[in-house]
Structure 1
Amino acid sequence: MTAISPAATDTLAEWLTSIKALNSAADNTIAAYQTDVLGYLAFITQHFGEETGLAPLKRVQVRDMRAWMAHERGRGVSARSLARSLSAVKSFYRWLAEREGFDPTVILSARAPRFQKKLPRPLAIDAAKALIDTVEMQSGKEWVAARDVAVITLLYGCGLRISEALSLTGADAPLPEVLRITGKGNKERIVPVIDAARVAVNRYLRACPHPPEPDAPLFCAIRGGPLRPRAIQKVMEATRLQLGLPATATPHALRHSFATHLLGAGGDLRAIQELLGHASLSTTQAYTSVDTARLMEVYEKAHPKAR
């Protein structure tokens, strides 16, 4: 294990604390940043053959950055993961350079490896409907079946993340016409609630033997505790096997399906960005590529000159 200097580790801790406070970054994001930058610091320590205090960090050159990236690729790190690590290192250096007063251009100008962006894998509209219709068959308990249908309907009908759906409390019931959702990075957004979701949640509440308190989770586990994401993931797995759907038919795929189907029906990209809670429009634009890919598939199957 490469020993990183106390100065470097303390500085990294200060940076992580600052981005958590200023950017309201999620715990998973902070953990990923920590892992990525620690890996970089460990390499630089070994590369220079000395503990990496702050002085060595300031004298990193282009060749050193190339050596680190080559090392990462050599140990099997994908281009996508390396690009993420480089982004974390650059963010760390921006903060460090401002605090220490040095020029970070060498690090900031390092180019990330190219990689093909993964497109979301939405379900077809009829597959999404079939999934919702089939979910309730996975449980012999009426109230559990109603609960699972309610959660799945919220994911597809409102574009919620599974964590957002499971964070609803008894105070949110009965569901209003719009929900105020706090998503990633504590960003708040307004989400319209379709009638089908309100009906599904009301059905669950009527059947549930554990009436939720205003400050308790809306969706309960069998014994009355908070419902965990794994329970919904498992019921999705059973449902997709029954319907013969691919392994990509996950709870999060329902959120992708919500966005893609809205876009396909003529929804405005900016409005969909707001509904999903994406900080950047470029994230939402991935759905444009999905829709284009679907249109090309239809074209190639149907157009006489494409066959």
Structure 2
Amino acid sequence: MTFEFHPDESLRRGVRRLARAELEAGIAELDTWRTQPDVAIHDVRRRLKRVRALLHLVRAVFPRVRRENAAVRDAARLLAPARDATARIQCLDDLVEHDPGPVATTDVATLRAVFVARHDDASAPKRLKRRIGEAREILEAVHRRARGWTVSTRDIDAAYDGLRRSYRDGRRVLGLAMQDPDAEDFHDWRKDVKSLWYQVALFRPLAPRAVARVHDESGRLGWTLGHEHDLTTLRRAVTDGSMPALDDRAFVVLVDAIDRRRTADRRLALRLGRTLYDARPREFIAALRADEPEPSAEPVH
């Protein structure tokens, strides 16, 4: 099932259908955790991001949005430790591959072994079973409630208005990041961009050409910001004193390599962001709507 609105579907029905489908699929994927835990957790968290992006899109016309968003967020947090441990290993491996000479030291190999041990601890069957069980209960409850969700309008205009606000929020944070490239605003911007990426895909059947461009641009920007975030998390893990001590040279070399990659990611993100957020929010929505086909004569269900 594609994560898209149907052209002749009311907003209310579309929100219910999409949320229930993603939650149902996510619950089914949780049940595969014994065979491929990392894959299952990655796939479920992606579905929960879609649901949260959908809720964020209609927050102005959905009175219960805070309750449902908090529930989905709590379920995702239960699955976060295993995912975060995997991300640190992958990020360190990528760093060594990108700069194999001075970074690939014995100390870094020892550091990686600690990350692997922490991943194995977070993914221990007994611990993971408990967390997945708790997440499953939460998602089953949200899935049941979603059948009766009351979005206060049937009109797709409300979804476009939500998309305009999401675009506005990301554009505002871009402005802050441009003023101070070292600010924590990159973390908030990453979430805004990822949400926009999921949200704009919903409109693909309504404005296919315009959506394709924005989806591609926001996808590339989101990946860049995600990589920058993983590097930031890795740097924090290396420097917070909880890891085995690296010798002075290895520590300096590793942190310098992380910082150089982060700087490159941030520069690329700002360049991509200036392209994506070039339009004013109302102009952005007008361009999408200009790509809409002629309205159907069929009634909206």
TM-score (norm 1): 0.23
Query: Higher helix proportion, which one?
Result: 2
Greater RCO structure (CA 8 Å; 6+ sep)? 2
Q: Give 1 or 2 for the bigger CA radius of gyration.
A: 1
